Homo-oligomer: A and B are copies of this chain.
Amino acid sequence: MDLSNVKRFLIGEPFPTSQDIHERLDNVRGLAVFASDPISSNAYATEAIMSVIIVLGSGALSMTLPIGLAVAALVILVVFSYIQTILHYPDGGGAYTVSKDNLGRSASLVAGAALLTDYILTVSVSVSAGVRAVTSAFPELFDARLAIALTAILLITWINLRGVRESGTIFAIPTYAFVGGVLLVILIGLVRYFGIFGAAPIPVTPEAVAAEASFNGFAYIWLILRAFAGGCTALTGIEAISNGVQAFKPPESKNAAKTMVAMGIIAMTLFIGITFLSTHLELVPHEYESILSQLTRRITGTGFLYFWVQIFTAMILFMAANTGYQDFPRLSSFLAKDNFLPRWLQNRGDRLVFSAGIVSLAILSSIIVIIFNADEIAMLPLYALGVMLSFSLSQAGMFKLMGRIAHLKPGETMRTSVTEIHFEKDVRWKQALNAVGTVVTSIVFLILVATKFVEGAWIVAMIIPLMVVLFHSIHRHYDKVAAALSTTGMTTENITEVADVVVIPIADVHRGTILAIEYAKRISSDVRALTIITSQEMQDRLDRRWQRFAQITDNVKLITIEYDYRDILKPLVEYIERLNTEEFPDQITTVVVPEFVPESTFEKTLHNQTANRLRARLKQYKDIVIIDVPFHIDSQI
């Protein structure tokens, strides 16, 4: 029982199921746990726009602000839509539940597959980006990047297995430290930029970059669209809260919605602030220094605040992974509940988290990290597609839901397949916003697919349908099991009869087999000891010992089969099969397997696994019951 002590030490004491409610998140922790991904996007979203625009030359960089504002407008649209989702689907499940209720099973499975894929990538990309931040500071660690990335995944997994509240507490510190640091930079920046309180102006030293080529109208628009799509990385993770409404303290949907609003405000303040200042300070994207680093340095110099922002940027990039850890296990449990994923993904562990989902995510994201050798740049073409597809489906679903609500009269209530809807005011307005959201996110999705297809988006485009096929085949399996186990129309006559025969495969007569023979004699009058004879010495020895224990072996038939090969399982199984199908057809045959149980795993490796292999083989036959009569060394001497 050493192992269980190790588990106690690592994971902590188990929580009773009834304590669930105490393990819920307050809004402060909820924001930290779910918003680390969208908030961390501010470390690179502005830069993602600028690095596309720069091919038009540094003069064109002033377009960053209008594009940024368009992204911000889209964020507000999506946030609004998800607040509606949270309020109408208080059990959570986000895009999956919305699609299931409004667009049908196929759409919901596509949304589920898209989001699960993206959450795995969230973990792989964030951790790899965090490792890049570390190896930029300490280049001598570059060769160890894979090991560092896997260790980081292990660490995040461990913290998450300790429970939602505990991980919330741990992750809150760097999230708020990052938000506070960047907000302060923006505030100082604005004060100095507008000369408020007579502050010293910020020096503007633009580096001129010439346009790479001239662009015709179409190419120009394509470039602007790509810059817009780049900026949309700021949207990833916005949906996180809608999947995990039930992680909040009651009233769950109200608290979740409040947290969503807070998240939207914080993320947009940072994004617009950074984009405004970057544009007005005429910053130019640079290979060796991020825009956020340039901005901080220009505004505050290379002092305490600069290092604060740098350190917590690295940390929050790592921790964006945690959004994946929140949502992958929850979303998996929703799919598992609907029989589209293995049912054990619904199981909650000692600390009331979906441990199996957490561990699955850790394994899958580690595989991605290993395949891509912790290079997040190579993973990026696969990333953000899934989430954008789920946005489109979720908005389209909400559009339909609003349409159904619009038909309700004041005071009227209706049950959909998963939730209850009531009469609402201004529902046509909400519907219109959802329509706009659907169209815009669909366009962004198509741009993302088109621009990234060759570099890797095709992988995602293949994996999502394959996952949907997998979901369906899992569902079929569970249907089949349910039908087989169903007791409908079952009577006592249906139950298979038990044959009065017991077979005991033995190789020798010793304490272990004698115990098994005694047990068999208790339950049947026709006990047959079955031996495979591979040499004359073996036959002689067995006969001798069989006679010696005549008192016990009396009334027991000794059946010996001579066999000239070494695979003794084969004749054993063949005899039992014949007995089962010819001598006692349509009846249950009982096989007693005397099994020597070693004290330790080391000792186990010293023995042939004949008993285990025989059991595995016999399990494949219908109507065979296997009785393990274990024999322990220490208990007998």
Contact = CB atoms under 8 A, between A and B. Distances in A.
Interface of A: 14-18, 342-344, 347-350, 474, 477-478, 480-481, 483-487, 490, 492, 495-496, 498, 509-512, 514-515, 518-519, 522-523, 534, 545, 548-549, 551-552, 564-567, 588, 595-597, 603, 605-608, 615, 619-620, 622-637
A606 B511 contact: no
9 contacts: A15-B565, A343-B607, A344-B607, A483-B637, A484-B634, A492-B552, A597-B619, A624-B630, A627-B627
Contact of A514 (B17, B495, B603): B495
Most chain-B Cβ atoms within 10 A of its Cβ — which of A630, A631, A634?
A630
Contact of A487 (B347, B509, B631): B509
A14 to B, nearest CB: 5
Contact of A619 (B344, B510, B534, B628): B628
A481 B633 contact: yes
Contacts of A548: 487
Contact of A622 (B564, B567, B615, B635): B635
A16 B564 contact: yes
Contacts of A483: 637
Contacts of A14: 565-567
A18 B625 CA distance: 35
A565 B622 contact: no
Stoichiometry, copies per complex: 2
B478 A606 contact: yes
Nearest to A551: B492
B565 A17 contact: yes
A342 B490 CA distance: 50
A503 to B, nearest CB: 14
A588 B519 contact: yes
Nearest to A552: B492
A17 B16 CA distance: 60
A625 B627 contact: yes
A256 to B, nearest CB: 25
Contact of A486 (B511, B534, B629): B511
Nearest to A624: B630
Given A349-B566, A350-B565, A486-B510, 19 more contacts: A16-B564, A17-B534, A17-B564, A342-B607, A350-B567, A478-B606, A480-B633, A484-B631, A484-B633, A487-B514, A490-B511, A492-B551, A519-B588, A522-B523, A597-B620, A622-B630, A625-B628, A625-B630, A626-B628
A474 to B, nearest CB: 6
Given A343-B607, A477-B606, A626 B627 contact: yes
A347 B566 contact: yes
Contact of A606 (B342, B496, B545): B342
A347 B608 contact: yes
A339 to B, nearest CB: 9
A35 B483 CA distance: 64
A184 B374 CA distance: 56
A343 B606 contact: yes
Contacts of A486: 510-511
Given A495-B518, A519-B498, A608-B344, A615 B637 contact: no
A377 to B, nearest CB: 23
Contact of A637 (B484, B608, B625): B484
